[in-house]
Amino acid sequence: MSTPAANLVDLRSDTFTKPTPAMRRAMAEAEVGDDVYLEDPTVNRLEKRAAEIFRKEAALFVPTGCMGNLIAIKVWTHHGDEVICEERSHVNLYELASMSAIAGAMPRIARADDGILTWKKIEAVIRPKIYYDSQTALVCLENTHNMAGGTLYPTAQVNDICAKAHAVKLKVHLDGARIFNAAVALGESVADMTRNLDSVMFCLSKGLGAPVGSMLVGSQEFIDKARIYRKMFGGGMRQTGVLAAAGLIALEESPKRLHEDHANAKYLAREIATIPNLVLDASTVETNIVIFDCERTGLNAVEFCEALQPHDILALDTALYSVRFVTHCDVDRAGCERAIHVTREVASKTRRAGA
């Protein structure tokens, strides 16, 4: 795709969002310095604001969400420790096994159909304190849960997990790539939602629309260690203020419009649920991710996405028969209506149509 079509509806991911004109202006005008020496005023402002918004002691700008999660896992574990995470979580499936390859930790899988772990599921996979067993060090939650379709943790459930994990000396990290989507859907503040978590990673570059960057938030002690590992992993950047300037706008302004993405996702879900041969429980869609099953069309998910593409509708396959639509600031209601029109056509003209 060298030149995208004017009416392209890109539902592959909220990572495809482009910086707004206000972000580009702020980037051009950003005051900068060498952030490895803590001298970039714009990065310092972004880190201060992120810490304030989450009511944590400190924050750190990191190049990617993957590096943020890896840094947190590295801080909270020793080589040979286990990290409890959900089977389809991002840290387990989409981070190149960095927790093992780099941090030396092992994922220990818990499974929840909706991606949302309970203490009962976590407790069942904690290793006994026996010297010849590897030891559990960390629980990693994902809110919203990407591969389960943007599902949410009720805050009381997060608090319950944190209290019980802390009682047995485990740390709890949140992969909150889309924590602001969760906050908008729940009508709660990210500070209240994450109060008892030991560390949180969130992305500026997803639904918040910044071109680059994620944040870690936590205690000053955690962030001091995180800064060392960021440098060790090659993420100590210099005049990063040009990126942080866009991040500041993403952080302050973008959460205000996420409800539009959720309304569009609910619209997509309601319509998809009425399309013969596509399977989706629309009531499970609460944020900006819609995942439906296309097996009955006779196409697999790759083939289904390929059939949408000539109509300038882009989607991603997330499993053999699972297709994902993600709404974001660069897709409007008219685009979603066109996506539904095309999806309906594709689903009705498949191999087994009329069979």
Q: Where along the sequence are the contacts to ligand PLP (CB under 6 A)?
A: 64-66, 69, 90, 142, 146, 175, 177, 203, 205-206, 214
Q: Which residue sits closest to ligand PLP, CB atoms considered?
A: 65
Pair type for strands 58-62 and 214-218: antiparallel
Give the integer Cα–Cα distance in Å for 317 and 263.
Answer: 22
User: How far apart are CB 115 and ligand PLP at their closest, in Å?
Assistant: 10
Nearest CB to ligand PLP, comparing residues 226 and 340: 226
Pair type for strands 171-175 and 199-203: parallel
Give the largest CA-CA distance in the chain: 67
User: How far apart are CB 355 and ligand PLP at their closest, in Å?
Assistant: 37
Nearest CB to ligand PLP, comparing residues 81 and 142: 142
User: How far apart are CB 144 and ligand PLP at their closest, in Å?
Assistant: 8
Nearest CB to ligand PLP, comparing residues 213 and 241: 213
Opening angle at CA 224, ends 221 and 229, nearest 5: 125
Nearest CB to ligand PLP, comparing residues 20 and 214: 214
User: How far apart are CB 53 and ligand PLP at their closest, in Å?
Assistant: 19
User: How far apart are CB 142 and ligand PLP at their closest, in Å?
Assistant: 5
Query: Taking the mean position of all CA atoms in its chain, how far away is CA 177?
Result: 3
Nearest CB to ligand PLP, comparing residues 247 and 297: 247
Nearest CB to ligand PLP, comparing residues 191 and 212: 212
Under 8 Å between Cβ of 203 and 177:
yes
User: How far apart are CB 233 and ligand PLP at their closest, in Å?
Assistant: 12
Please report the sign of the dihedral spanned by the C-alpha atoms of residue 157, residue 163, residue 168, residue 174. positive
Q: Is the peptide bond before 318 cis (omega within 30 degrees of 0)?
A: no
E-assigned strand segments in 249-334: 289-293, 313-314, 316-319, 322-326
